[in-house]
Structure formats: structure tokens, C-alpha cells
Amino acid sequence: MTKTPIAVYGFEESQDAAKRLADELSAPAEDVAVHRFPDGESLVRIDAMAETAILYRSLDHPNDKLVELMLAASVLRETNPARLILVAPYLCYMRQDTAFHPGEAVSQRVVGRFLDGLFDGIVTVDPHLHRTPDLAAVFPTARTATLSATPLLADRLRDDGVSTDTVLVGPDAESEQWVDAVAAPLGLEVLLGGKKRHGDTDVRVEIPGVERASGRPVILIDDMVSTGSTLIECAKQLTAAGAETIEALVVHNLTDRQVDAALREAGIARIRSTDSVPHSTNAISLASLLSTAAGEFLP
């Protein structure tokens, strides 16, 4: 089988984003075909091969995706490519970096070793790390590129002509790095909340200085939203404080329709996200950012 110099391979749910990356790299975009049998097993087929194979898949809702990713990587590896690269804008299982209770699996370590054994390089965006300093600790042999989408978020607000009166709010201490990075080039004021989580959807948030949001537009900034509980609690406090409008700008949006409705009901007029995970709120393409990093792996 003849191999092209480089190709980007995308699964069905991520074909559009994979195509945008391929266009940035002036490379062909190839499909990863998946047939799912009634018993839940998957058959993966790839027809075109490349010397540099870039496998694109965001790993939200990861359990089935990881098996299919393994099968796709095995097909590409069998043709002995010079390099096999994973581009996973959203990287799963990064938050569980230690055993908090006896008997818990440390999923970051397990999944990290699994992916490390499949790929020569791994590219991701704003991984949800807590106590882990960087991805090199997760992937000991694969080269890694950890990107931040905050410059793109700041650019979007600048292009919007964001008002200098706007307040950016980080819902918790973990969001501080993102909200500060977006606010700094725009010269916007920042409020930072404090969060106590008692369960997946049981969250308590306090925003010191929330009264400064009175009569002003507010934009919530965070790396990810899934259950929406944190943003909903923030929106309630900001509404009570008299915020003029409330929006949200996030890197990874993992919400479903029920959560989307709850966020709107809480007073968040608009949510925008990058295309790291396919979602109706996607408003910012990561293709140019990812292509720069992926390009560093090319010969």
C-alpha cells in the first residue's frame, strides 16, 4: 500500500475538526470507519496510510472511544509509519491523579500508560490536571505538546469589541490561570470565586467582591463545563448582585441539552466554547493552534 507523507485521520464525530486541522497542515483528511456490532464490539477500518499519521479524536465520553482509538492506532502502526501522533484536544481521565480512598484506581496513571504505549507523540489543549505538574509525568516516553486556548479566548473577546467595563469571573481557584490569562491582554477586571464540592452536582460557590459586578456585563471563564453546577451557582450570585448580563466562555464544553437548559434558566444568556469537543456552542476553532504543535512533530 502506497503511503502519503502525512495524513490526518478523523472518526465520524470529529471529521469536521479533523478536516480543519488537515487543511491547516495542507494534508489529506482520511476517515476512520467504525462499524459497531449489536453486542457492542467495534470493527475499525482505515484505507489510506501515511509516513506521519495524525490520529484526531477528542476523548470526551471516553470508554468506547479508547478501545476504538487503540484499534485505529494498531492499524496505522502495522504499516510501520515514521511517527504516529495523537491529537486529542480534550484528554480524558486526567483529574484522578491519586487514590483518595483505599481501593481506587489512579486512572490518570493507567490511561496515561495505555496511550503512551500507542503513540509517539500526544497533543492536547488545557488538560484538566490538578497535582500533576505537566504531561511529561503522565506520558514518560511519548513526546507531548500541551497547548492553551486562552489566547484564542482573548482574541474572540477582542474581536467582539468587549467593553472595558466587563468583569471576568473565574468560578474557583482552579480557573484562576485561565481567567487571568484572558483578562491580562484585555485589561479587564477579574473576580475569583471559591468552591466547595460535596458531590458531582452539589456545589457551593462564594465570589468575594461580587458586588462589583453590579450594573456591569460579566463573562464567566473556565477550562471546562460538564454538569454546569459551578457556573449555575456563580450565575445565581451574579444575578443577585445586579450583573447587567452574564455569559460564559469555556475551552471544553461537555454539557448535554438538559444542562444547557439549566444554564440558560440560571441567567447565562450565551455560552461559547472552542471546538475541542463537538457542541452547539462551538465558536472558536483550535485548528491553527493544533497545527502549529502538530507541525513540530513533522520531519
* pLDDT tens profile 79-121: 999 999 999 999 999 887 787 888 889 889 999 999 999 999 9
Tell me the pLDDT band of 285, cut-offs 50, 70 and 90.
very high
pLDDT at residue 205 in the model: 80
The answer to whether the beta carbons of residues 247 and 268 sit under 8 Å apart is yes
Strands (E), the chain: 3-10, 29-31, 33-36, 42-45, 49-56, 83-87, 121-125, 143-147, 167-170, 189-192, 194-197, 203-206, 217-225, 245-253, 270-274, 282-284
Are 169 and 220 spatial neighbours (Cβ–Cβ below 8 Å)?
yes
Q: Above 70 in pLDDT, residue 202?
A: no
Residue 296: pLDDT band with limits 50, 70, 90: confident
Per-residue confidence at 185, pLDDT binned at 50, 70, 90?
very high
Task: Provide the whole-model pTM.
Answer: 0.93
* Chain centre distance of CA 246: 22
Q: What share of the chain is helix, strand, coil (3-state, %, to 5)?
A: 35, 30, 35
Q: What is the pLDDT of residue 199?
A: 53
* pLDDT of residue 200 exceeding 80: no
* pLDDT, mean of residues 262-273: 96
| pLDDT value at 198 more than 60 | no
Report the alpha-carbon distance of residue 55 to residue 75 in Å, rounded. 11
Mean pLDDT of all residues in 3-18: 95
pLDDT in tens, 19-30: 999 999 999 999
d(Cα 269, Cα 40) in Å, to the nearest integer? 39
Name the CATH topology of 3-148+285-295.
Rossmann fold (3.40.50)
Phi, then psi, of 44 in degrees rounded to 5 = -110, 135
Three-state secondary-structure class, residue 124:
strand
Q: The cell 502525512 sits on which residue?
A: 6
Q: Which CATH architecture has domain 150-275?
A: 3-Layer(aba) Sandwich (3.40)
Cα–Cα dist 176/68, whole Å: 35
Measured in whole angstroms, the distance separating CA 228 from the mean position of its chain's CA atoms is 15
Q: CATH 3.40.50.2020 residue ranges in the chain? A: 3-148+285-295, 150-275
Convert the pLDDT of each residue in 59-69 to its tens digit: 999 999 999 99
- What pLDDT shows up at residue 99? 78
According to the model, what pLDDT value does residue 203 have? 65
Is residue 266 over pLDDT 70? yes
